[in-house]
Amino acid sequence: MVIIMSQQVKISINNLNVFFEKKQVIFDLNLNIRENEILSVFGPAGSGITTLLRSLNRLNELIPSFKMNGSIKLDDKSIYDKDVSLTELRRKIGMVFDVPTPLPMSIYENIAYGPKLGGEKNKKVLGDIVEKALKEAALWDEVKNRLKASALSLSGGQQQRLCIARVLALEPDVILLDRPCSGLDPISTAKIEDSLQSLKDRFTIILAPHNTQQASRVSNRVAFMLMGELIEEGLTDDVFYSPQNQRTSDYVTGRFG
C-alpha cells in the first residue's frame, strides 16, 4: 500500500440517496474522497457502485427515472448548484467505462478531439497534448509511429488505455474508472495498473476494480459497498487485513460474493 500524499478532501458525499423510479439503489451514503489518492469502491454486483460513479459527474441525469437527494461537493462546491456547467463538470470529473469506446477516427484525433472542442487550434500544442496523454496512459511507445491509424485497429487493452488518454487530454481533476480492466488480459491490466500509480500524483482516482485483488494492489484507500450501502471504508491494509465489519471480512475472504 502506498502512503497517501494528501489529506485534503476533493469530493465530499453526504447523505446520498439515489432512486430509479421507486427503486432505491444507494442508501444514505457518506464518503470523503481525498486529493491525489486512488480510492477503490468494491462489492458484489448490484451494490450501486456504477451508479455512485455516474452520480459524481451527473451522468445519471441522462436517465429520466433518476432521482436523488443529499449532496455531492467538488472542492467544497455542490456539483448540483445552478451555476455549474455540466460540460465543465464532466471535463473536471472524467469517466472511463468498462467497455472501451474509441471514436471511429485516428489515434491522434481521438486524443485531440476534446481539446479541439475546447477551442485549441495550435497544431504544436495539440501534438504536445496527444503525446503527453498517451505517455501518461502508457500507450505512447506502442502507437507513436502510427498515430494516423484508426483507433479501431488497436487491441482491446490498447483501446482502453486510449480511452484513459482521451480523458487525460482534458486535464481533469478527478478520473472515474468503472471496471476498466474487466475484459483485459493480465499484461494489459498490469500496464493500466502501473499507469494509475503514476497518475495519482496529479489526479484523484476513483476506481471500481475488476476484483478485490486489484483493489488491494492499487489503492490507497478502499470502500466496501453492499446492496447500496457503504459498509466500511478506510486504508487498504486496514480494511483487508483488519476489517471492522463481519460482512467486509466475509467478502474479502471469499465467503460470499
Helices 123-136 and 107-117: crossing angle, nearest 10°? 120
pTM of the model: 0.92
Closest CA to 164 of 128, 186, 123, 135: 135
User: Average pLDDT of 151-178?
Assistant: 95
Give the start-to-end residue ranges of the domains of the chain.
Answer: 9-252
Encode pLDDT of 121-151 as tens digits: 999 999 999 999 999 999 999 999 999 999 9
Residue 257 confidence (pLDDT) above 80: no
Encode pLDDT of 8-66 as tens digits: 999 999 999 999 999 999 999 999 999 999 999 999 999 999 999 999 999 999 999 99
CA distance 144 to 17: 45
Residue 5 confidence (pLDDT) above 60: no
Residue 213 confidence (pLDDT) above 60: yes
Residue 68 confidence (pLDDT) above 80: yes
Which pLDDT does position 4 carry in this prediction? Answer: 45
SS3 41: strand
User: Average pLDDT of 189-202?
Assistant: 90
CA distance 12 to 53: 13
pLDDT band at 114 (very low <50, low <70, confident <90, very high): very high
Which pLDDT does position 172 carry in this prediction? Answer: 96
Encode pLDDT of 152-163 as tens digits: 999 999 999 999
What are the phi and psi torsion angles at 66 (to 5°)? -70, 135
Encode pLDDT of 196-205 as tens digits: 988 988 999 9
Which pLDDT does position 55 carry in this prediction? Answer: 97
Please give the mean pLDDT across all residues of the chain.
Answer: 93
CA angle, 203 then 1 then 131, to 5°: 35
Strands 66-74, 9-20: pairing kind: antiparallel
Residue 3 confidence (pLDDT) above 50: no
Residue 117 confidence (pLDDT) above 50: yes
Which pLDDT does position 1 carry in this prediction? Answer: 44
Residue 254 confidence (pLDDT) above 90: no
pLDDT band at 6 (very low <50, low <70, confident <90, very high): low
CATH 3.40.50.300 is the classification of domain 9-252: yes
Residue 7 confidence (pLDDT) above 80: no
Cell of 127: 501534438
CA distance 18 to 69: 7
